[in-house]
Chains A and B, each alone.
Chain A
Amino acid sequence: MKQLRLLAAVCLALAALAIGPALAQEIRIVVVSHGQASDPFWSVVKNGVDDAKKDMGVSVEYLAPDTFDMVRMAQMIDTAVASNPDGLVVSIPDADALGESIRAAVASGIPVVSMNSGSDVRKSLGVQVHVGQTEFEAGVGGGERMAASGVTKAICVNQEVGNVALDLRCEGFAKGLGGEVEVVAVSMDPTEIRSAVSSHLIRNPDTQAILTLGPSAAEPALAALEEEGLIGRVKLGTFDLSPTVLRALADKKMAFAIDQQQYLQGYMPVVILTLHEKYGLMPGADVLTGPGFVTPENAAQVIDLSAKGIR
Protein backbone atom coordinates (compact mmCIF):
# COMPACT_ATOMS: atom_id res chain seq x y z
CA MET A 1 0.00 0.00 0.00
CA LYS A 2 2.67 2.40 1.07
CA GLN A 3 4.63 1.75 -2.09
CA LEU A 4 1.55 2.25 -4.23
CA ARG A 5 0.84 5.57 -2.62
CA LEU A 6 4.42 6.65 -3.14
CA LEU A 7 4.23 5.61 -6.77
CA ALA A 8 1.04 7.56 -7.27
CA ALA A 9 2.62 10.62 -5.69
CA VAL A 10 5.64 10.36 -7.95
CA CYS A 11 3.40 10.01 -11.02
CA LEU A 12 1.40 13.06 -10.03
CA ALA A 13 4.53 15.08 -9.47
CA LEU A 14 5.90 14.09 -12.88
CA ALA A 15 2.61 14.93 -14.55
CA ALA A 16 2.57 18.30 -12.84
CA LEU A 17 6.10 18.97 -14.06
CA ALA A 18 5.10 18.09 -17.60
CA ILE A 19 1.88 20.07 -17.68
CA GLY A 20 3.04 23.05 -15.64
CA PRO A 21 4.93 25.00 -18.31
CA ALA A 22 2.32 24.23 -20.96
CA LEU A 23 -0.33 25.92 -18.88
CA ALA A 24 1.85 28.89 -18.05
CA GLN A 25 2.72 29.94 -21.61
CA GLU A 26 0.64 30.79 -24.58
CA ILE A 27 2.56 29.74 -27.65
CA ARG A 28 3.39 26.03 -27.73
CA ILE A 29 5.52 24.40 -30.42
CA VAL A 30 6.34 20.71 -30.79
CA VAL A 31 9.49 19.49 -32.53
CA VAL A 32 9.54 15.89 -33.78
CA SER A 33 12.86 14.83 -35.25
CA HIS A 34 14.41 11.53 -36.22
CA GLY A 35 17.62 12.25 -34.34
CA GLN A 36 18.00 11.31 -30.72
CA ALA A 37 19.34 13.96 -28.41
CA SER A 38 22.26 11.63 -27.75
CA ASP A 39 23.59 11.99 -31.30
CA PRO A 40 26.25 14.71 -31.36
CA PHE A 41 24.75 16.32 -34.45
CA TRP A 42 21.24 16.40 -33.07
CA SER A 43 22.54 17.55 -29.76
CA VAL A 44 23.46 20.85 -31.45
CA VAL A 45 20.05 21.04 -33.15
CA LYS A 46 18.47 20.63 -29.76
CA ASN A 47 20.67 23.38 -28.37
CA GLY A 48 19.28 25.61 -31.12
CA VAL A 49 15.75 24.62 -30.19
CA ASP A 50 16.41 25.23 -26.49
CA ASP A 51 17.98 28.64 -27.11
CA ALA A 52 15.14 29.72 -29.42
CA LYS A 53 12.69 28.59 -26.77
CA LYS A 54 14.43 30.82 -24.22
CA ASP A 55 14.85 33.77 -26.60
CA MET A 56 11.28 33.66 -27.91
CA GLY A 57 9.72 32.94 -24.54
CA VAL A 58 7.62 30.09 -25.89
CA SER A 59 7.06 26.53 -24.81
CA VAL A 60 8.74 23.87 -26.93
CA GLU A 61 8.65 20.09 -26.63
CA TYR A 62 11.29 18.03 -28.38
CA LEU A 63 10.43 14.45 -29.33
CA ALA A 64 12.52 11.84 -31.10
CA PRO A 65 12.33 8.04 -31.37
CA ASP A 66 15.08 6.05 -29.63
CA THR A 67 16.18 4.42 -32.85
CA PHE A 68 15.79 5.21 -36.55
CA ASP A 69 12.16 4.04 -36.40
CA MET A 70 9.81 5.78 -38.82
CA VAL A 71 6.67 4.11 -37.54
CA ARG A 72 7.39 5.31 -34.04
CA MET A 73 8.12 8.77 -35.38
CA ALA A 74 4.80 8.87 -37.25
CA GLN A 75 3.07 7.97 -34.01
CA MET A 76 4.91 10.80 -32.28
CA ILE A 77 3.71 13.25 -34.92
CA ASP A 78 0.16 11.99 -34.45
CA THR A 79 0.47 12.48 -30.71
CA ALA A 80 1.81 15.97 -31.23
CA VAL A 81 -1.08 16.82 -33.58
CA ALA A 82 -3.58 15.49 -31.07
CA SER A 83 -2.23 17.93 -28.47
CA ASN A 84 -3.06 20.75 -30.93
CA PRO A 85 0.10 22.89 -30.72
CA ASP A 86 0.50 26.33 -32.26
CA GLY A 87 3.19 25.05 -34.55
CA LEU A 88 4.88 21.80 -35.52
CA VAL A 89 8.48 21.27 -36.60
CA VAL A 90 9.34 17.95 -38.24
CA SER A 91 12.27 16.39 -39.99
CA ILE A 92 11.18 14.25 -42.96
CA PRO A 93 13.78 11.54 -43.59
CA ASP A 94 11.13 9.22 -45.07
CA ALA A 95 8.19 10.94 -46.77
CA ASP A 96 6.31 7.70 -47.43
CA ALA A 97 6.20 6.74 -43.79
CA LEU A 98 5.57 10.18 -42.36
CA GLY A 99 3.55 11.81 -45.16
CA GLU A 100 0.15 10.84 -43.88
CA SER A 101 0.81 12.08 -40.36
CA ILE A 102 2.17 15.36 -41.67
CA ARG A 103 -0.79 15.86 -44.01
CA ALA A 104 -3.08 15.24 -41.06
CA ALA A 105 -1.27 17.97 -39.12
CA VAL A 106 -1.63 20.40 -42.04
CA ALA A 107 -5.28 19.45 -42.43
CA SER A 108 -6.02 20.22 -38.79
CA GLY A 109 -4.73 23.75 -39.39
CA ILE A 110 -1.39 23.47 -37.60
CA PRO A 111 1.40 25.40 -39.34
CA VAL A 112 4.19 22.92 -40.12
CA VAL A 113 7.84 23.70 -40.81
CA SER A 114 10.23 20.96 -41.91
CA MET A 115 13.89 20.97 -41.04
CA ASN A 116 17.06 19.02 -41.76
CA SER A 117 15.63 16.56 -44.23
CA GLY A 118 12.58 16.79 -46.47
CA SER A 119 13.29 19.73 -48.79
CA ASP A 120 12.32 17.64 -51.83
CA VAL A 121 8.92 16.57 -50.52
CA ARG A 122 7.78 19.41 -48.30
CA LYS A 123 5.67 21.18 -50.95
CA SER A 124 3.62 18.11 -51.80
CA LEU A 125 2.87 17.56 -48.12
CA GLY A 126 1.68 21.11 -47.54
CA VAL A 127 4.57 22.05 -45.29
CA GLN A 128 5.00 25.85 -45.16
CA VAL A 129 8.75 26.13 -45.39
CA HIS A 130 11.92 24.04 -45.07
CA VAL A 131 14.99 24.89 -43.03
CA GLY A 132 18.02 22.81 -43.90
CA GLN A 133 20.46 21.86 -46.57
CA THR A 134 19.83 19.76 -49.59
CA GLU A 135 21.65 16.52 -49.00
CA PHE A 136 22.36 15.51 -52.56
CA GLU A 137 23.85 18.90 -53.48
CA ALA A 138 25.93 18.92 -50.30
CA GLY A 139 27.27 15.51 -51.28
CA VAL A 140 28.01 16.78 -54.79
CA GLY A 141 29.94 19.68 -53.23
CA GLY A 142 32.05 17.25 -51.23
CA GLY A 143 32.67 15.11 -54.28
CA GLU A 144 33.75 18.06 -56.40
CA ARG A 145 36.18 19.19 -53.71
CA MET A 146 37.73 15.71 -53.63
CA ALA A 147 37.86 15.53 -57.44
CA ALA A 148 39.63 18.90 -57.54
CA SER A 149 42.46 17.45 -55.45
CA GLY A 150 42.87 14.57 -57.90
CA VAL A 151 40.89 11.77 -56.23
CA THR A 152 39.34 9.14 -58.49
CA LYS A 153 38.66 6.26 -56.12
CA ALA A 154 36.94 6.77 -52.76
CA ILE A 155 34.69 5.16 -50.17
CA CYS A 156 31.61 6.55 -48.48
CA VAL A 157 31.25 5.27 -44.89
CA ASN A 158 27.54 5.04 -44.07
CA GLN A 159 26.61 4.30 -40.47
CA GLU A 160 22.87 4.40 -41.12
CA VAL A 161 22.08 2.65 -44.39
CA GLY A 162 18.37 3.11 -45.06
CA ASN A 163 18.29 6.75 -43.99
CA VAL A 164 17.40 8.43 -47.29
CA ALA A 165 19.26 11.63 -46.38
CA LEU A 166 22.49 9.73 -45.77
CA ASP A 167 22.05 7.61 -48.86
CA LEU A 168 21.56 10.81 -50.89
CA ARG A 169 24.81 12.22 -49.51
CA CYS A 170 26.71 9.19 -50.74
CA GLU A 171 25.00 9.37 -54.14
CA GLY A 172 25.74 13.08 -54.44
CA PHE A 173 29.33 12.44 -53.46
CA ALA A 174 29.65 9.83 -56.20
CA LYS A 175 28.24 12.22 -58.76
CA GLY A 176 30.44 15.13 -57.68
CA LEU A 177 33.56 12.96 -57.69
CA GLY A 178 32.79 11.41 -61.05
CA GLY A 179 34.99 8.45 -60.12
CA GLU A 180 34.60 5.13 -58.36
CA VAL A 181 32.80 5.28 -54.97
CA GLU A 182 32.09 2.25 -52.80
CA VAL A 183 29.62 2.52 -49.96
CA VAL A 184 30.85 0.84 -46.76
CA ALA A 185 28.01 0.12 -44.35
CA VAL A 186 29.07 0.13 -40.70
CA SER A 187 27.52 0.04 -37.23
CA MET A 188 27.69 2.82 -34.62
CA ASP A 189 30.48 1.27 -32.54
CA PRO A 190 33.75 3.22 -32.85
CA THR A 191 36.04 0.19 -32.57
CA GLU A 192 34.05 -1.60 -35.24
CA ILE A 193 34.09 1.41 -37.56
CA ARG A 194 37.84 1.77 -37.13
CA SER A 195 38.37 -1.92 -37.90
CA ALA A 196 36.04 -1.73 -40.87
CA VAL A 197 37.83 1.25 -42.40
CA SER A 198 41.23 -0.19 -41.71
CA SER A 199 40.23 -3.58 -43.13
CA HIS A 200 38.90 -1.92 -46.23
CA LEU A 201 42.13 -0.04 -46.73
CA ILE A 202 44.15 -3.24 -46.37
CA ARG A 203 42.03 -4.92 -48.96
CA ASN A 204 41.89 -1.92 -51.30
CA PRO A 205 45.23 -0.13 -50.95
CA ASP A 206 44.44 2.09 -53.95
CA THR A 207 41.69 3.96 -52.07
CA GLN A 208 42.46 7.67 -52.25
CA ALA A 209 39.76 9.27 -50.16
CA ILE A 210 37.17 8.60 -47.49
CA LEU A 211 33.96 10.47 -46.89
CA THR A 212 32.18 9.85 -43.60
CA LEU A 213 28.63 10.97 -43.02
CA GLY A 214 29.06 12.19 -39.46
CA PRO A 215 31.61 12.81 -36.70
CA SER A 216 30.79 9.54 -34.96
CA ALA A 217 32.25 7.78 -38.02
CA ALA A 218 34.85 10.42 -38.87
CA GLU A 219 36.74 10.05 -35.60
CA PRO A 220 37.28 6.26 -35.87
CA ALA A 221 38.13 6.67 -39.57
CA LEU A 222 40.76 9.22 -38.59
CA ALA A 223 42.14 6.78 -36.02
CA ALA A 224 42.30 4.07 -38.70
CA LEU A 225 44.28 6.38 -40.99
CA GLU A 226 46.63 7.26 -38.15
CA GLU A 227 47.23 3.57 -37.43
CA GLU A 228 47.89 2.74 -41.04
CA GLY A 229 50.21 5.73 -41.34
CA LEU A 230 48.11 7.06 -44.20
CA ILE A 231 47.30 10.53 -42.85
CA GLY A 232 47.59 12.98 -45.73
CA ARG A 233 47.88 10.25 -48.32
CA VAL A 234 44.27 9.17 -48.00
CA LYS A 235 42.09 12.27 -47.87
CA LEU A 236 39.38 12.29 -45.24
CA GLY A 237 36.28 14.42 -45.49
CA THR A 238 33.19 14.30 -43.36
CA PHE A 239 29.74 15.69 -42.98
CA ASP A 240 29.15 17.68 -39.81
CA LEU A 241 31.44 18.83 -37.05
CA SER A 242 32.65 17.79 -33.65
CA PRO A 243 35.49 19.09 -31.48
CA THR A 244 37.73 16.23 -32.57
CA VAL A 245 36.96 16.80 -36.25
CA LEU A 246 37.73 20.48 -35.84
CA ARG A 247 41.04 19.79 -34.16
CA ALA A 248 41.93 17.32 -36.89
CA LEU A 249 41.09 20.01 -39.46
CA ALA A 250 43.22 22.56 -37.65
CA ASP A 251 46.06 20.01 -37.57
CA LYS A 252 45.59 19.43 -41.34
CA LYS A 253 44.85 15.75 -40.74
CA MET A 254 41.53 16.05 -42.53
CA ALA A 255 40.65 17.71 -45.81
CA PHE A 256 37.30 19.30 -45.03
CA ALA A 257 34.04 19.04 -43.14
CA ILE A 258 30.71 19.81 -44.75
CA ASP A 259 28.84 21.89 -42.23
CA GLN A 260 25.12 22.38 -42.49
CA GLN A 261 25.04 24.68 -39.45
CA GLN A 262 22.40 22.60 -37.82
CA TYR A 263 22.06 24.98 -34.89
CA LEU A 264 20.02 27.07 -37.33
CA GLN A 265 17.83 24.07 -38.11
CA GLY A 266 16.81 23.95 -34.49
CA TYR A 267 16.65 27.69 -33.88
CA MET A 268 15.02 29.03 -37.04
CA PRO A 269 11.85 26.93 -37.22
CA VAL A 270 10.93 27.90 -33.67
CA VAL A 271 11.46 31.56 -34.53
CA ILE A 272 9.50 31.25 -37.77
CA LEU A 273 6.57 29.55 -36.09
CA THR A 274 6.55 31.99 -33.19
CA LEU A 275 6.51 34.95 -35.56
CA HIS A 276 3.85 33.23 -37.64
CA GLU A 277 1.69 32.76 -34.58
CA LYS A 278 2.25 36.31 -33.39
CA TYR A 279 2.20 38.30 -36.62
CA GLY A 280 1.27 35.86 -39.39
CA LEU A 281 4.71 36.10 -41.03
CA MET A 282 6.23 33.32 -43.15
CA PRO A 283 9.38 33.28 -45.33
CA GLY A 284 8.75 33.02 -49.03
CA ALA A 285 11.31 30.35 -49.81
CA ASP A 286 13.22 27.55 -48.14
CA VAL A 287 15.94 28.59 -45.73
CA LEU A 288 19.24 26.99 -46.71
CA THR A 289 21.53 26.47 -43.71
CA GLY A 290 24.32 24.82 -45.69
CA PRO A 291 26.48 23.49 -47.13
CA GLY A 292 29.33 25.41 -45.65
CA PHE A 293 32.81 23.99 -45.81
CA VAL A 294 35.14 24.00 -42.85
CA THR A 295 38.71 23.54 -43.97
CA PRO A 296 42.08 23.72 -42.21
CA GLU A 297 42.07 27.43 -43.11
CA ASN A 298 38.97 28.46 -41.19
CA ALA A 299 38.85 25.72 -38.56
CA ALA A 300 40.19 27.89 -35.75
CA GLN A 301 37.20 30.23 -35.74
CA VAL A 302 34.75 27.40 -35.69
CA ILE A 303 36.44 25.58 -32.79
CA ASP A 304 35.38 28.21 -30.31
CA LEU A 305 31.70 28.02 -31.25
CA SER A 306 31.74 24.26 -31.34
CA ALA A 307 32.85 24.09 -27.73
CA LYS A 308 29.68 25.94 -26.88
CA GLY A 309 27.54 23.45 -28.74
CA ILE A 310 26.56 25.90 -31.48
CA ARG A 311 28.44 24.32 -34.40
Chain B
Amino acid sequence: MTTPLIETREMGKTFGSVIALSGINMSVAAGQVLCLLGDNGAGKSTLIKTLAGVHRPSEGEMLVEGRPVAFDSPRDALDAGIATVFQDLAMVSLMSVTRNFFMGREPTRGKGVLARFDAGFADRVAREEMAKIGIDVRDPSQAVGTLSGGERQCVAIARAVYFGAKVLILDEPTSALGVSQASMVLRYIAQARSRGLGVIFITHNVHHAYPVGDTFTLLNRGRSLGNFMKAEVSREEVLEMMAGGKELEDLDAELAEFDRADAG
Protein backbone atom coordinates (compact mmCIF):
# COMPACT_ATOMS: atom_id res chain seq x y z
CA MET B 1 0.00 0.00 0.00
CA THR B 2 1.24 3.49 -0.85
CA THR B 3 1.88 6.07 1.87
CA PRO B 4 -1.23 8.18 2.40
CA LEU B 5 -0.86 11.85 1.49
CA ILE B 6 -2.30 12.88 4.79
CA GLU B 7 -3.05 10.82 7.85
CA THR B 8 -4.16 11.50 11.41
CA ARG B 9 -3.56 9.20 14.36
CA GLU B 10 -5.71 9.51 17.45
CA MET B 11 -5.84 13.26 16.82
CA GLY B 12 -7.81 15.40 19.25
CA LYS B 13 -8.44 19.06 19.95
CA THR B 14 -9.67 20.69 23.11
CA PHE B 15 -10.60 24.31 23.74
CA GLY B 16 -10.21 24.79 27.48
CA SER B 17 -12.53 22.21 28.99
CA VAL B 18 -14.47 21.65 25.79
CA ILE B 19 -13.45 18.54 23.87
CA ALA B 20 -14.05 19.46 20.24
CA LEU B 21 -12.40 16.42 18.72
CA SER B 22 -10.90 13.22 20.02
CA GLY B 23 -9.44 10.04 18.65
CA ILE B 24 -9.70 10.91 14.98
CA ASN B 25 -8.06 8.38 12.66
CA MET B 26 -8.27 8.91 8.96
CA SER B 27 -6.14 8.91 5.85
CA VAL B 28 -6.32 10.01 2.25
CA ALA B 29 -4.17 8.64 -0.55
CA ALA B 30 -3.47 10.15 -3.92
CA GLY B 31 -6.39 9.82 -6.31
CA GLN B 32 -8.84 9.25 -3.50
CA VAL B 33 -11.84 11.21 -2.27
CA LEU B 34 -12.54 11.02 1.44
CA CYS B 35 -15.96 12.24 2.41
CA LEU B 36 -16.20 13.63 5.89
CA LEU B 37 -19.79 13.42 6.93
CA GLY B 38 -21.47 14.75 9.98
CA ASP B 39 -24.31 16.90 11.14
CA ASN B 40 -23.92 20.45 12.40
CA GLY B 41 -21.80 20.52 15.53
CA ALA B 42 -20.16 17.18 14.80
CA GLY B 43 -16.70 18.77 14.81
CA LYS B 44 -16.19 19.04 11.07
CA SER B 45 -15.08 22.65 11.16
CA THR B 46 -12.58 22.04 13.96
CA LEU B 47 -11.18 19.06 12.09
CA ILE B 48 -10.69 21.04 8.88
CA LYS B 49 -9.14 23.95 10.68
CA THR B 50 -6.73 21.58 12.40
CA LEU B 51 -5.79 19.96 9.11
CA ALA B 52 -5.40 23.37 7.50
CA GLY B 53 -3.02 24.62 10.17
CA VAL B 54 -5.39 27.14 11.77
CA HIS B 55 -5.49 25.12 15.01
CA ARG B 56 -2.80 22.87 16.42
CA PRO B 57 -3.93 19.43 17.55
CA SER B 58 -3.97 19.02 21.33
CA GLU B 59 -3.24 15.29 21.17
CA GLY B 60 -2.33 12.61 18.68
CA GLU B 61 -0.39 13.34 15.53
CA MET B 62 -0.75 14.28 11.94
CA LEU B 63 1.41 12.90 9.11
CA VAL B 64 1.96 14.24 5.65
CA GLU B 65 3.38 11.67 3.26
CA GLY B 66 4.41 9.59 6.23
CA ARG B 67 6.25 12.31 8.11
CA PRO B 68 4.81 13.82 11.30
CA VAL B 69 4.13 17.53 10.94
CA ALA B 70 3.15 20.45 13.15
CA PHE B 71 1.73 23.45 11.33
CA ASP B 72 2.11 26.88 12.85
CA SER B 73 -0.03 28.68 10.31
CA PRO B 74 -2.17 28.06 7.22
CA ARG B 75 0.90 29.09 5.24
CA ASP B 76 2.80 26.01 6.54
CA ALA B 77 -0.04 23.73 5.50
CA LEU B 78 -0.10 25.32 2.06
CA ASP B 79 3.64 24.83 1.70
CA ALA B 80 3.15 21.16 2.55
CA GLY B 81 0.68 20.90 -0.32
CA ILE B 82 -2.50 20.95 1.70
CA ALA B 83 -4.91 23.50 0.30
CA THR B 84 -8.15 24.25 2.06
CA VAL B 85 -11.10 25.87 0.38
CA PHE B 86 -13.17 27.32 3.18
CA GLN B 87 -16.83 28.12 2.87
CA ASP B 88 -16.05 31.81 2.43
CA LEU B 89 -13.78 30.64 -0.44
CA ALA B 90 -11.10 33.22 0.44
CA MET B 91 -12.28 35.30 -2.49
CA VAL B 92 -12.69 39.03 -2.64
CA SER B 93 -15.83 39.72 -4.63
CA LEU B 94 -14.76 43.24 -5.66
CA MET B 95 -11.58 41.91 -7.24
CA SER B 96 -11.26 40.38 -10.69
CA VAL B 97 -11.12 36.64 -11.35
CA THR B 98 -7.44 36.91 -12.23
CA ARG B 99 -6.52 38.93 -9.20
CA ASN B 100 -8.36 36.50 -6.95
CA PHE B 101 -6.83 33.52 -8.69
CA PHE B 102 -3.33 34.78 -7.97
CA MET B 103 -4.05 36.54 -4.68
CA GLY B 104 -1.06 36.14 -2.38
CA ARG B 105 0.97 34.35 -5.08
CA GLU B 106 1.17 36.90 -7.84
CA PRO B 107 3.45 36.07 -10.74
CA THR B 108 6.00 38.81 -11.29
CA ARG B 109 8.32 39.95 -14.02
CA GLY B 110 11.47 41.92 -13.54
CA LYS B 111 13.72 42.14 -10.54
CA GLY B 112 13.98 44.08 -7.29
CA VAL B 113 11.97 47.28 -7.10
CA LEU B 114 10.89 46.85 -10.70
CA ALA B 115 9.26 43.47 -10.05
CA ARG B 116 5.81 43.86 -11.47
CA PHE B 117 2.61 41.87 -11.57
CA ASP B 118 2.56 39.94 -14.84
CA ALA B 119 -1.02 40.72 -15.78
CA GLY B 120 -0.91 39.19 -19.26
CA PHE B 121 0.40 35.88 -18.01
CA ALA B 122 -2.03 35.88 -15.09
CA ASP B 123 -5.04 36.57 -17.30
CA ARG B 124 -4.02 33.81 -19.68
CA VAL B 125 -3.49 31.22 -16.95
CA ALA B 126 -6.74 32.09 -15.21
CA ARG B 127 -8.69 31.74 -18.43
CA GLU B 128 -6.98 28.45 -19.33
CA GLU B 129 -7.42 26.91 -15.91
CA MET B 130 -11.08 27.81 -15.88
CA ALA B 131 -11.52 26.48 -19.39
CA LYS B 132 -10.02 23.15 -18.31
CA ILE B 133 -12.91 22.62 -15.96
CA GLY B 134 -15.43 23.69 -18.49
CA ILE B 135 -16.10 27.19 -17.23
CA ASP B 136 -15.82 29.82 -19.89
CA VAL B 137 -14.66 32.97 -18.18
CA ARG B 138 -15.59 35.62 -20.71
CA ASP B 139 -13.38 38.27 -19.24
CA PRO B 140 -10.87 37.34 -16.53
CA SER B 141 -10.88 40.96 -15.40
CA GLN B 142 -14.53 40.78 -14.40
CA ALA B 143 -15.19 40.90 -10.69
CA VAL B 144 -15.68 37.61 -8.88
CA GLY B 145 -18.86 39.08 -7.45
CA THR B 146 -20.45 38.72 -10.88
CA LEU B 147 -19.88 34.93 -11.01
CA SER B 148 -22.42 32.35 -9.88
CA GLY B 149 -21.91 30.42 -6.65
CA GLY B 150 -20.77 27.25 -8.39
CA GLU B 151 -18.39 29.13 -10.65
CA ARG B 152 -16.91 30.86 -7.66
CA GLN B 153 -16.41 27.55 -5.90
CA CYS B 154 -14.70 26.18 -8.99
CA VAL B 155 -12.39 29.20 -9.23
CA ALA B 156 -11.36 28.59 -5.64
CA ILE B 157 -10.70 24.90 -6.28
CA ALA B 158 -8.93 25.55 -9.58
CA ARG B 159 -6.73 28.03 -7.80
CA ALA B 160 -5.74 25.45 -5.18
CA VAL B 161 -5.04 22.84 -7.86
CA TYR B 162 -3.01 25.23 -9.99
CA PHE B 163 -0.78 26.12 -7.07
CA GLY B 164 0.30 22.53 -6.62
CA ALA B 165 -2.05 21.27 -3.96
CA LYS B 166 -1.59 17.57 -3.30
CA VAL B 167 -4.49 17.41 -0.90
CA LEU B 168 -7.62 19.49 -1.36
CA ILE B 169 -9.81 20.09 1.64
CA LEU B 170 -13.22 21.33 0.58
CA ASP B 171 -15.49 22.71 3.28
CA GLU B 172 -19.14 22.22 2.35
CA PRO B 173 -18.55 23.23 -1.28
CA THR B 174 -22.05 22.28 -2.38
CA SER B 175 -24.12 23.34 0.59
CA ALA B 176 -25.34 26.67 -0.72
CA LEU B 177 -25.76 25.62 -4.32
CA GLY B 178 -28.65 24.60 -6.54
CA VAL B 179 -28.72 21.21 -8.21
CA SER B 180 -26.97 22.12 -11.45
CA GLN B 181 -24.38 24.30 -9.70
CA ALA B 182 -23.65 21.51 -7.23
CA SER B 183 -23.16 18.95 -9.98
CA MET B 184 -20.73 21.33 -11.64
CA VAL B 185 -18.66 21.28 -8.46
CA LEU B 186 -18.99 17.50 -8.01
CA ARG B 187 -17.85 16.91 -11.56
CA TYR B 188 -14.81 19.00 -10.82
CA ILE B 189 -14.04 17.05 -7.66
CA ALA B 190 -14.06 13.84 -9.68
CA GLN B 191 -11.77 15.49 -12.18
CA ALA B 192 -9.32 16.53 -9.48
CA ARG B 193 -9.23 12.96 -8.21
CA SER B 194 -8.46 11.59 -11.63
CA ARG B 195 -5.51 14.00 -11.80
CA GLY B 196 -4.07 12.23 -8.77
CA LEU B 197 -5.04 14.60 -5.99
CA GLY B 198 -6.26 13.54 -2.58
CA VAL B 199 -9.55 15.20 -1.75
CA ILE B 200 -11.20 15.62 1.62
CA PHE B 201 -14.78 16.56 0.94
CA ILE B 202 -16.73 17.83 3.91
CA THR B 203 -20.49 17.78 3.65
CA HIS B 204 -23.66 16.84 5.44
CA ASN B 205 -25.36 15.86 2.20
CA VAL B 206 -24.97 12.15 1.55
CA HIS B 207 -26.44 12.50 -1.93
CA HIS B 208 -23.58 14.78 -2.86
CA ALA B 209 -20.97 12.68 -1.08
CA TYR B 210 -21.84 9.23 -2.26
CA PRO B 211 -21.34 9.60 -6.03
CA VAL B 212 -17.79 10.99 -5.74
CA GLY B 213 -16.53 9.47 -2.48
CA ASP B 214 -14.14 6.52 -2.20
CA THR B 215 -14.10 6.34 1.58
CA PHE B 216 -16.39 7.85 4.16
CA THR B 217 -15.59 9.01 7.65
CA LEU B 218 -18.48 9.81 9.89
CA LEU B 219 -18.21 12.28 12.71
CA ASN B 220 -20.58 12.65 15.59
CA ARG B 221 -20.09 14.89 18.61
CA GLY B 222 -16.36 15.20 18.05
CA ARG B 223 -15.74 11.47 17.61
CA SER B 224 -15.30 9.30 14.59
CA LEU B 225 -17.96 6.68 13.97
CA GLY B 226 -15.51 4.84 11.75
CA ASN B 227 -14.11 4.80 8.23
CA PHE B 228 -15.83 2.90 5.45
CA MET B 229 -14.87 1.98 1.91
CA LYS B 230 -17.48 2.71 -0.69
CA ALA B 231 -17.73 -1.01 -1.45
CA GLU B 232 -18.60 -1.76 2.16
CA VAL B 233 -21.59 0.50 2.60
CA SER B 234 -24.64 1.59 0.71
CA ARG B 235 -25.93 5.10 0.48
CA GLU B 236 -28.73 4.28 2.87
CA GLU B 237 -26.39 2.82 5.45
CA VAL B 238 -24.26 5.95 5.39
CA LEU B 239 -27.34 8.07 5.76
CA GLU B 240 -28.48 6.02 8.66
CA MET B 241 -25.19 6.30 10.46
CA MET B 242 -25.23 10.05 10.30
CA ALA B 243 -26.76 11.77 13.24
CA GLY B 244 -29.64 12.84 11.09
CA GLY B 245 -30.30 9.37 9.69
CA LYS B 246 -32.52 8.20 12.47
CA GLU B 247 -34.49 11.39 12.55
CA LEU B 248 -35.02 11.38 8.82
CA GLU B 249 -36.37 7.84 9.09
CA ASP B 250 -38.75 8.93 11.81
CA LEU B 251 -39.78 11.86 9.67
CA ASP B 252 -40.45 9.48 6.76
CA ALA B 253 -42.60 7.35 9.02
CA GLU B 254 -44.49 10.38 10.28
CA LEU B 255 -45.11 11.67 6.79
CA ALA B 256 -46.34 8.24 5.75
CA GLU B 257 -48.70 8.40 8.68
CA PHE B 258 -50.10 11.71 7.42
CA ASP B 259 -50.53 10.30 3.95
CA ARG B 260 -52.49 7.39 5.32
CA ALA B 261 -54.63 9.74 7.36
CA ASP B 262 -55.32 11.84 4.25
CA ALA B 263 -56.17 8.79 2.22
CA GLY B 264 -58.45 7.53 4.95
Is there any pair of Cβ atoms, one from A and one from B, under 8 angstroms apart in the complex?
no
B residues bordering A, Cβ < 8 Å? none
A residues bordering B, Cβ < 8 Å? none
